Amino acid sequence: MAERMGMGEAAAKGAVAGLVAGMAINLVWQAGERFVLAPGERVGSPTSRMVKQKAEASGRTVSEAQVRTAAGAIYGGTMATYGVLYGVVQTRLNPPPLATGMLLTGIMYALNFPRFGALPRNDIMPPPSEQRPAAAAVPIVAQLAFGAALPAVFAALSGGGADAADYEYDPA
């Protein structure tokens, strides 16, 4: 019999899974910057760049420690939020776990990287259409790492394999 999981538990496990999967993005992103991108193509942490940019635009001076702290909080909160969404959707609707992870990562990519996305609109990095193919591939591969890691971590936290039947929504 499948384990019954309430929404609060699904959200909490999803948040943790999102944070861990967010680390997968960082690892792949850093490896891509180091081994694939030319020095002029490297952006480092897009979240840190956005924090610096917003601080400068408001006339504030911030230290590197403040930038790292703010960027970490924003990034961690974002990854945890995506994880909560995953956990709740997964346990309520019971879709194939990897499909849910890849759908969320596709949404994340669409919100951030294309010409209309947050990063090009804020001059953090150019859209993929203006990058070398290898440079454009780094964020795609990093996002795919998130989409694969999220369901795996959620399943591990839920005490089962990645099979969607291992956890069900319990409305009680």
Interval 70-98 mean pLDDT? 96
**What is the tally of structural domains in the chain?**
1
Q: Which of 41, 43, 51 is nearest to 72 (CA)?
A: 51
Q: Which domain does 124 fall in, by range?
A: 3-46+81-169
Residue 60 belongs to some domain of the structure = no
76, part of any domain = no
Residue 1 pLDDT exceeds 60 = no
Give the angle 18-141-64 at the CA atoms, nearest 5°.
Answer: 65
Q: Is the pTM of this model over 0.75?
A: yes
Q: What is the pLDDT of residue 42?
A: 81
State which amino acid sits at residue 97: P
Q: Which of 152, 104, 108, 137 is nearest to 29 (CA)?
A: 137
Mean pLDDT of the chain: 90
- What's at 52, amino acid-wise? K
Amino acid at 91: T
Question: Does a structural domain hold residue 100?
Answer: yes
pLDDT at 39: 84
Strand partners, 169: 5
Asked, for residue 56, whether it belongs to a domain, the answer is: no
Residue 70, in any domain of the structure: no
Give start and end residues of each alpha helix (H) in 36-132: 46-57, 64-93, 97-112, 118-121
Q: 17 lies in a domain?
A: yes
Is the per-residue pLDDT at 79 higher than 60?
yes
pLDDT of residue 161: 57
Residues 99-139: tens digit of each pLDDT? 999 999 999 999 999 999 999 999 988 999 998 899 899 99
125/78 Cα distance (integer angstroms): 19
Which carries the bigger pLDDT value, residue 74 or residue 163?
74
Please report whether residue 105 resides in a domain. Answer: yes
Is residue 53 within 8 A of residue 124, CB to CB? The reply is: yes
Residues in the chain: 172
Residue 65 lies in a domain: no
Looking at the chain, the whole-number percentage of residues with pLDDT higher than 70 is 91
**Burial of 64 from C-beta contacts in 10 A (0-12 / 13-18 / 19+):** exposed
